[in-house]
Structure formats: structure tokens, C-alpha cells
Amino acid sequence: MHILLVNMPWASIDLPSLALGILKRSVDERVPDAHAEVMHANIDYVDWVTRRTEFTLRDYEYYSLASYFLGCGDWVFSSALYGDREWRVEEFTEATRENLSDARGEQALLLHTMAEEFVLDVARRIVDLAPDVVGFTSTFQQNAAALAAARHVKRLAPGIVTVLGGANCDGKQGEAIHRNFAFVDYVVRGEAEESFPALLTAIARKEVPTEVPGLCRRDEQGRSVANPMSTRPLPPAAILPPDYTGYFERLASSGARSWVEPKLVVEGARGCWWGEKHHCTFCGLNGSSMQFRSKNPAVFFEEIVELARRHRVLDMYVVDNILDMNYLKSLLPRLRESGYDLRLQYEIKSNMRLSQLRTLAEAGVVYVQPGIENLDSKVLALMDKGVTGCQNVRMLRDAATAGLTVAWNYLHGFPGEEADDYDDAVAQMPALEHLNPPASQSARIAIERFSPYFNNPGLGFSDLRPAQQYRFIYDLPEAEMFDLAYIFEVPPRGIADEVVERLNAAIVAWQHAYAGSRLTHCDLGDRIVLVSRRRAFDWTVLELTDPGEAALFRLLDQPHTVTAATRKLRAGAGDRAPASPDGPDEARVREILRHWRGLGLVYEDGGQYVHVAPASVNQELLRLGYLKENDARQATDLAARLQSAPA
């Protein structure tokens, strides 16, 4: 049995498909007399489109990632799905008028009119390979392209069995896809390591796959039937390592090889241990399976090392939604001692301590995504994040000390938030400009399927409606669109637009100032020396020589209230601060903290304070973009000197 697995645009081109890598291995190892291969149609598209029009990596990333909440990537291929080059052009243009530049809108329209030609080319190549089964993965903005390709394959070769799976097919979404697109023979919902081989075995035996969990199929009358989904997620031992055979070779033969540095995708855990206890109100990322499971650290270590050896690639993206904290004492020390100069990206929780962040850095982690989302404790409580604003600032500070780059977003739009919850954070952002800024401007939250906001109207969102993008992509009744959609629109909640404008202005200023901003501290025992280069503060060097002030600064390595800090100072805060019953009272501590806030030394939130100065450990060299930043500064300095030089 020949199985072809297809990765359509707009999957990232610098990453092989983890889903298809796992399915390839599961087919090859678990289905007798079967072999799977992967078609990298996302890379094929780069070569195809660059021969016909001006197209860059930035363009691809826009349709792949940046435009997800606008739906531009899916709309491009909706013309191929419905066989109409003019499909919903007016609706798309009107809906995106305020969010797309003229150039981007013109490009989207051009790609839209060209899409069917590419999809037909893919379909013909699939048919020429004569697979028994063709499977399409669909995640993020792959849905229209995957459906369009399945449509044309079924039209050209009705005997080829078409299967769709992936994150866009979870739960009700998969049922809606199967009901509404008859050219898709089967939809696999949920984890597919066992269900997909079971489906293939049934097909090979010409049996009706009634027992395959989560499968959407058609009965003898042609009606769509959904098998019940499994109530038990796969145990960690059943989660296979991926087989990426063919990806690196295909990328090497593509024009895209000059665009990107390829990375490996690895998986150590599924689900979210925090979400099992406190599901963040806006998060739908774990779909229908929240239960946290992680691989044996020894097994995961061998998978990582074997992939690095085989493909000679050291950059790795770990897709786990959250770090298994047990890995700090098992997996990560082994990676550190492995001798491989790995560069890993990992999602973590933002209340991790500096010692833990150093363990990550020593093991090769360079990027972390800690889910910061906001710097105000009240708003974070509305999210059920389990952290405070000061803890999030501490994460940014300690990550700088450890040499980690932090990727994070600022979110707003939560029921119950108020302008005051943002204004004080905005006022303090100039003090943070030496720390990693948000990746983009603040975004109003979208209501995602599987999130508490979606499932529980009592949390503040009711009258959900599929997001506008689905109406210019698909030709479906509203009820079917509701089941297919992942993103939903509601009347806005939370802060008003003028507050958002102030917030975004501060974030943009932070982003622009970051490259040239610095603040560090060096603790010399008898004094603490701080060095600053930030646009909003006119001091450059400050020494804390008073023992009480130095002790207070050390205390604020962790968030403290005035009362708690005063109590600890009087009791003796650590080895360097002996007990001082006659030490500063609360009024004096409050006065010092007010002065320090004016100097940009502390961040204040919810009655707590934390200092914002990373330890002095050559932060400039630890920053991944240092050389680029330094070259830019030198060029600017040279230009200034030339302008001021006498003729």
C-alpha cells in the first residue's frame, strides 16, 4: 500500500512537518506492506510562485503567520477550492480594507487568481505517483489549500482515498469538514499515531472502519458519520519520534534554501500541566486534549541526539506547550553534557527562577516563550495565568541575565479590565526598554474554540459568531460555519480604543529603543553599582553604598510588598544584611522605592515591587542580535562624525 502525505502551503518552510513525520513513521512501522512518503508542497509553492511573480520570504511569512487572524492565507486558496478566480473578491477587499496596504491587497488578489493553477499542478503530480491513499495535514492557514488539493485529486482520480487531519480537524471542526466537502473520504480527529494506521489497515482489508476512534466516515447511504473520539489520550510511550526523510533534501534543491536556516521540530510532551488545573481563559491551543503527558527524559534525549546526528542540524524548535519541570533535573543536564551545541526554543511558565533559566541556557535553550501576555496582576488574574505583573517583569530581567531571548505578546480585551490596569504599566515601560519588548503591538484577544471563554458564556462572552474571515473563504450556512471555525468574533470587551492607542504607542517606543538601551547591576558586596543607558533617564552610573539600600535592592530580586520588605530588612535579609530591629520603617522604605521608581530601577504592580536591572554579564554579547545592532550603531556614529567634521 502506497501512502502519500502532503504538506500544503502555508506551512512554515524552515520546519519539517512534525505531524507528517510522525505519521510516516507510524505507517512504515505499524501497517504491514505499507510505505509512506511526504510531498513538501509548501516548498514547491515557493519555487512555483517565485518563477511567476515577485515574492519574498517576508511575503510567505505574512500569509503563513502574520495574517492568521485576517484569513489572508486561506482566502488565497479559496479560489482553487471553489474553482472561481473571482471568489469573494469584493467581500475580501471590503473586510480587509483597513488592515491591508494597497500593495499587500494587490498581491493577495494576484495570488488568489493564480492559486488554482498551482493546486492543479500538485494534484496532477499526486495522481502521477498513484498512491492508494493521500493524506493532507491542516493546521492554521492550510485548510483551504488542503481542501482544494483534495478536491482536484478526487476529480482526477476518484479511486484515490483522500484523508484530512491536523489541528483544524479537531472535534466539531472535523465533523463539519467531512459533512460539507464530499471529496474528503475520511477525516481523522485527534491524535493519529494509532487511528491513522488503523484506518489504513481497514482500507487494505476492505473493512468498514467503525472502530477507529474519532474517525469521520460515510455510511452505506453516503451520510457523514463521526466515530466517538477517544476519551483517553495517548500515553507518552506511544508518541513516536518523527521521520523527516526527504525534507532537508527537498529544501536544499529549492530556491527557498537561501531564505531560511532549517530547524528540526521535536516533541517531548503534549497537553498542559497548568491548564489541567487552571485553564487560561483565552487559550484554545490544546484542543480537545488538555491532559499533560511527557516522554521519558532518556527517550526524548535519544530522539533529540539522533535527529541532530542524522540531519546535522542543531537548531531545534520544541513544540511542547509547556516545559515538563522534571526535565530541569533530567533531560536538560544531559543535553548540556552531550557535547552538542544545540540551539533550542522552548515554551515555559513565566514564574521560573533565575537558577532554572540558567539550566535552560546551559542546555542550549536560546529562545523562550513564557506566556507573559500582560504586566498587570489584575488582568493576569482575569486570564487565570497564576502569575503577577512583577513576576513577569522578573522573567524578562532574569532571562536577560541568563542570556535568553524572550518572545511574548501583550494582550487586552478581557471582561473586567479597566484603563487603570494599563495606564500604570504604560507609565513604567520606559524603565523596561532594556528588556525584550513584546513581539508586536498589543492585540485584542480572539475567542478560540476549546478555550474557557468559548465554552463558558458566564465568563463574559456570549453570542459568539464565526470570525469574519470564514465568510469570505467558505460557502457554508452559518451553523456549519460555526462548527468549522476556530476563531470567533464578539462585541469588544475591556478597555476602550484610546487606552489601546496609548498602550501601543508605549510598546512601539519600547521596540524602537530596545537595541540601544541598557541597564545592569554589579553587586560588589560593600556596594551595588548600576549602569544605565535609557532614553527616559539622564543618569548613567549609580552606586548604592548605604547598607540598608543595598539590602533592599537585593531583596527586590524577588517581588515584595513594602510591609514584607520592611519586615525582612529588620529581621536580616540574607547573609549580607544582619538583623536590624531599628532599621528603616515602612515610610522610609516607601520613600526609597518611590525614588527608585523615578530612576527606573523598580517596577511596581499590585502593591509589589521588583528591581529591573539584570546582573552585569556582558548582556550585549548574549543578545542574539548584538552584532547587527552593533554594526548599525557604528554606522550611525560614523555618519554623525562625518556630518560634524570640518570641511
Cα dist. 569→174, 394, 563, 572, 584 in Å? 59, 21, 10, 5, 8
Each residue's pLDDT tens digit, 454-470: 999 999 999 899 999 99
Q: Are residues 71 and 142 in the same domain?
A: yes
Q: Are residues 109 and 146 in the same domain?
A: yes
Q: Are residues 31 and 52 in the same domain?
A: yes
> What one-character DSSP code corresponds to residue 346?
E
Each residue's pLDDT tens digit, 148-168: 999 999 999 999 999 999 999
Question: What would the mean pLDDT of 201-220 be, rounded to a whole number?
Answer: 96
Q: Give dist(CA 258, CA 534) in Å, integer.
A: 37
Q: Are residues 544 and 488 in the same domain?
A: no
For the chain, percent of residues with pLDDT exceeding 70: 94
Sheet holding 560-561, edge to edge: 560-561, 608-611, 602-605
Each residue's pLDDT tens digit, 253-308: 999 999 999 999 999 999 999 999 999 999 998 887 899 999 999 999 999 999 99
Task: State the pLDDT at residue 647.
Answer: 31
**Residue 635 pLDDT class (50, 70, 90 cuts):** very low
**Long-range own/partner contacts, residues 54-60 (CB < 8 A, 24 or more apart):** 56/259, 57/256, 57/259, 57/260, 59/107, 60/10, 60/13, 60/259
For the chain, percent of residues with pLDDT exceeding 90: 92
Whether pLDDT at 631 is above 90: no
Q: Which of 61, 71, 110, 114 is CA-nearest to residue 92?
A: 71
Assess if residue 138 is contained within a domain: yes
**Residue 617 pLDDT class (50, 70, 90 cuts):** confident
Q: Are residues 153 and 270 in the same domain?
A: no
Task: Tell me the HSE value of 541 on the side-chain side, using a 13 A CA sphere.
Answer: 4
Whether pLDDT at 632 is above 50: no
Task: State the pLDDT at residue 622.
Answer: 52
Torsion of CA 280, 283, 286, 288, to 10 degrees: 90
Q: Are residues 506 and 525 in the same domain?
A: no
> What one-character DSSP code corresponds to residue 615?
B
Assess if residue 632 is contained within a domain: no
Q: Are residues 91 and 204 in the same domain?
A: yes
Whether pLDDT at 626 is above 50: no
Question: What would the mean pLDDT of 543-567 be, rounded to a whole number?
Answer: 97
Whether pLDDT at 432 is above 50: yes
Assess if residue 252 is contained within a domain: no
Assess if residue 426 is contained within a domain: yes
**Residue 627 pLDDT class (50, 70, 90 cuts):** very low
Whether pLDDT at 633 is above 50: no
Phi (first) and psi of residue 589, to 5 degrees: -60, -40
Q: Are residues 408 and 290 in the same domain?
A: yes
Whether pLDDT at 115 is above 70: yes
CATH code at position 285? 3.80.30.20
Residue at a domain's end among 233, 251, 271:
233
Assess if residue 390 is contained within a domain: yes
Q: Are residues 507 and 564 in the same domain?
A: no
What range does the domain containing 31 cover?
A: 2-233
Whether pLDDT at 619 is above 70: no
Each residue's pLDDT tens digit, 561-590: 999 999 999 988 654 555 566 678 999 999
Question: What would the mean pLDDT of 325-338 be, rounded to a whole number?
Answer: 98
Task: State the pLDDT at residue 582.
Answer: 66
Whether pLDDT at 603 is above 80: yes
- Sequence length of the chain is 647
Assess if residue 486 is contained within a domain: yes
Least confident among 174-183, 226-235, 262-271, 571-580: 571-580
Paired strand residues for 448: 487
pTM across the whole model:
0.92
Q: What mean pLDDT is reported for the chain?
A: 94
Assess if residue 251 is contained within a domain: no
Assess if residue 248 is contained within a domain: no
**Residue 96 pLDDT class (50, 70, 90 cuts):** very high
Q: Are residues 338 and 310 in contact, defined by beta-carbon separation less than 8 angstroms? A: no
Residue at a domain's end among 479, 512, 545:
512
Cell reading at 185: 473520504
**Residue 640 pLDDT class (50, 70, 90 cuts):** very low
Whether pLDDT at 638 is above 80: no
Residue at a domain's end among 495, 512, 529:
512
Question: How many folded domains does the chain comprise?
Answer: 3
CATH code at position 566? 1.10.10.10
Task: State the pLDDT at residue 289.
Answer: 83
Q: Are residues 503 and 522 in the same domain?
A: no
Q: Are residues 158 and 215 in the same domain?
A: yes
Q: Are residues 417 and 524 in the same domain?
A: no
Task: State the pLDDT at residue 535.
Answer: 97
Paired strand residues for 411: 443
